[in-house]
Amino acid sequence: MTLLDYELPSELIAQRPVEPRDASRLLVYRRNSATIEHLVFSDLPGLVADALVVVHDSRVVPGRLRLRRASGGAVEVLLVEALAGKGLWEALVRPARRLRAGEQLGPIELVESLGDGRWLVRLVGEPDGEVPLPPYIREPLEDPERYQTVYARDPGSAAAPTAGLHLTPGMLVNLDPIRITLHVGLDTFRPVAGSRLEEHVLHGERYTVDSSAWARIANARRLLAVGTTTVRVLETVVRTGELSGRTTLFVTPGFTFRRVDALLTNFHLPRSTLLALVMAFVGVEEAWRIYRVAVDERYRFYSFGDAMVVL
């Protein structure tokens, strides 16, 4: 999958967030002139004063559980999505070999194997594990709240909407964003495995948009989406008219954006659906130019890294 592959020096993978949140760097790309500027994140409000800002307020569930089998073997369970039914979750379980339905792992009962390490499980009580940091972050996080946005309120995500990690309470006052909800699940961080983008299948992620919020979104003259996951919700609703449900929208180069005018995002992993969305928004060649500049200028990449805004 050469379209989504690139080389990144390992030292540019951010291992910890900067303090304060809005002190990260901000690469600014202007589509009308194809120009790049280098600012800091606290400059954002002045750049988007004419836009309605939309964020999604899902909160990351402390869903990484390190458990033991009756035999003493270690098992890690990552709760991905709460399902209908008391205590039922979809989860990733590893190592998946030799596990069987009905097995009890502390507060977790394995109910049914869904294949590829995915299980239907039943949890007793509420999730009370670790914040599920991505595997490329090897340093422990001193404050778990740094993997939450300051506006997170509705628990349900398996990963943070990382573009929003830069926003501070003071910036929220200036930006006055509209809030929607998308619970980040497997689709956001599952790599594109096939040789062709169109072969990649999304299982879908749950979203909700308040009707009054959508009225403002639909009538906005210009709109900035904070994060690629927010883009997927907005572009789903403008197509379907459904204010809640599951989005399986896979945004790839050639996609026509009907509602999003500007995008705030971090720098993404190779072979990710998120990188494909950025390419769709700015163009494939321009995306590679932006990423080459970001590497040359020593921007910090991925979840705790720096940000870029496309205007």
pLDDT tens for each residue of 89-113: 999 999 988 899 999 999 999 999 9
- Model confidence pLDDT, tens digit, residues 179-188: 999 999 866 6
Mean pLDDT of 134-151: 94
Mean pLDDT of 244-255: 94
Both 281 and 296 in one domain: the answer is yes
Q: Note whether residue 237 is domain-resident.
A: yes
Q: Note whether residue 131 is domain-resident.
A: no
Both 94 and 38 in one domain: the answer is no
Residues of the chain with pLDDT > 70: what percent? 94
Both 53 and 147 in one domain: the answer is yes
- Give me the CATH number covering residue 306: 3.40.1780.10
Q: Tell me which of 100, 123, 146 is where a domain ends.
A: 123
178 vs 57: CA distance, rounded Å? 10
Q: Note whether residue 51 is domain-resident.
A: yes
Name, in order, each residue with C-beta under 8 angstroms of 238's C-beta and a sequence gap of 6 or more.
218, 258, 259
Q: Pick from 207, 300, 202: which is nearest to 251 by CA?
A: 202
Both 28 and 75 in one domain: the answer is no
Both 16 and 99 in one domain: the answer is no
Both 149 and 291 in one domain: the answer is yes
Both 25 and 89 in one domain: the answer is no
Mean pLDDT of the chain: 93
pLDDT at 203 over 90: no
Both 43 and 144 in one domain: the answer is yes
Q: Note whether residue 107 is domain-resident.
A: yes
pLDDT at 252 over 70: yes
Enter the tokens of residue 175: 């930006």
Q: What does the pLDDT read at residue 198?
A: 59
* Of 287 and 6, more confident: 287
Both 106 and 34 in one domain: the answer is no
| Count of domains forming the chain | 2
Q: Pick from 101, 106, 142: which is nearest to 119 by CA?
A: 101
pLDDT band with cut points at 50, 70 and 90 for residue 55: very high
Both 250 and 187 in one domain: the answer is yes
Both 180 and 273 in one domain: the answer is yes
Mean pLDDT of 268-292: 94
Q: Note whether residue 128 is domain-resident.
A: no
pLDDT band with cut points at 50, 70 and 90 for residue 191: low
Both 186 and 81 in one domain: the answer is no
Query: How far is the CA of 264 from the CAs of 80, 118, 222, 267, in angstroms?
Result: 25, 31, 14, 10
List the domain range (segments joined by +) for residue 89: 64-123
pTM: 0.94
